[in-house]
Amino acid sequence: MSVAVLAFGLNHTSAPVSVRERVSMPVDLVKPALEGLRATFGGAVREAAILSTCNRTELYCAAEGQVAEHLPAWLAEHNRLEAAALRPHLYRHQHDDAVRHAFRVASGLDSMVLGEPQILGQMKDAVRAANEAGALGTLLHQLFQRTFSVAKEVRSQTAIGAHSVSMAAAAVRLAERVFGQLEDARTLFIGAGEMIELCATHFAAQRPRSMVVANRTIERAETLAGRFSAQTMKLADLTERLAEFDVIVSCTASSLPILGLGMVERATRQRRHRPMVMIDLAVPRDIEPEVGRLDDVYLYSVDDLGRLVQSGTDARRAAVVQAEAIIETRVQGFMHWMQSREVVPVIRDLHQAADERCGPPSSSARAACWRAASRPRPCWNSWRTG
């Protein structure tokens, strides 16, 4: 049976953070998920990779056609969810639509922050994890290599990343809405990953009164804090010290909330109801959403920041048109490569049959035949599936 390229999942446009966090896969769970997927479908899933970020969880497959309709049930069961509740938020792309989707994602055209560069690195990490899990083969390897090449071409030949407002910059803007200038703000960063580093860079430029980094691994906190002359603290000290801070930015890989309603409520009483800005960039969320109901707390999720960063989108519309044109050309190139892979075994079998009947053809005739086989055949798909 023929193998198709599939792209399946959900993202910030199809599902709110309350849904995305329930199917998010930290990096240590990607390999077991890939193993479970292939065990469920057997040889019908030839290759697979999982891309899971704050804004999307997507599965890329080289699989037999009947697999696509069963993927929603697999994803729901894997995450112990009801398929009926998850299904409205899912999308599925096949064949050239799947290739186009991969190219758009890597180029930043499908991001919450249009043109943001982090997604390309995240996709490379996903491919590396799939390769280490033994889940990549020729088809997806070629797809992702071309994906990375297209993303580089889009960024170098268009202004897709210009005028963009990053999530980190948006976090600063939200804090400034409440406190005005941030020179007197005491700022706490929970986590020590790439997003926290970006946020710390933007906040440091505003010269807040103090910056503190809290992390499960204190060594990583010290490394990050050293870049900004910040202090560090243990996560275990949050309960006692939370009231000290005016701005809290959190982004960890925890599967459970770090800051609960009770903890934050106690902190607001200790602060005598002075306002707190809490920015939760994690998926799953680090801060219980009920915290947002407290009168003195301004809680923002990753989706809230996403709405703010859309402000610079209009200036990049022309770049989007250019990027889409580049992507469309490269999609057709990849589909031509796939068709050539399918044709080659057929031509080889025909050659063998002809050799057995008539003897080997001349070298010039064989070369002409191979050249003809490598050209696009507009009617090939209809013939093959008709």
**Residues in binding site for substrate:** 53-56, 111, 116-118, 122
CB atoms under 10 Å from CB of 14, counted, come to: 14
CA dihedral sign, ordered 325, 331, 334, 338: negative
Cβ contacts of 252 within 8 Å, gap of 6 or more: 190, 191, 193, 215, 216, 258, 282, 286
Q: To 10 degrees, what angle do helices 27-41 and 71-78 make?
A: 130
AA letter at 5:
V
Binding residues for NADP(+): 191-196
Q: Cα separation of 341 and 310, whole Å?
A: 41
Among 48, 100, 94, residue whose Cα is nearest residue 74: 48
Q: What are phi and psi of 133, to 5 degrees?
A: -85, 0
Binding residues: 53-56, 111, 116-118, 122, 191-196
Collapsing DSSP to helix, strand or coil, 90 comes out as coil
Q: Cα separation of 258 and 112, whole Å?
A: 25
How many residues make up the chain in this entry?
Answer: 386
**Residue in the structure block whose two tokens are 């049976």:** 1
Q: How far is CA 10 from the centre of its chain?
A: 10
Q: How far is CA 370 from the centre of its chain?
A: 40
Active site residue 54: yes
Whether the CB-CB separation of 56 and 285 falls below 8 Å is answered with no
Enclosing H/E stretch for 316: none
Among 257, 327, 319, residue whose Cα is nearest residue 292: 257
Whether the CB-CB separation of 50 and 133 falls below 8 Å is answered with no
Task: Return the biggest CA–CA distance within the chain.
Answer: 95
Collapsing DSSP to helix, strand or coil, 97 comes out as helix
- List, by residue number, the catalytic residues: 54
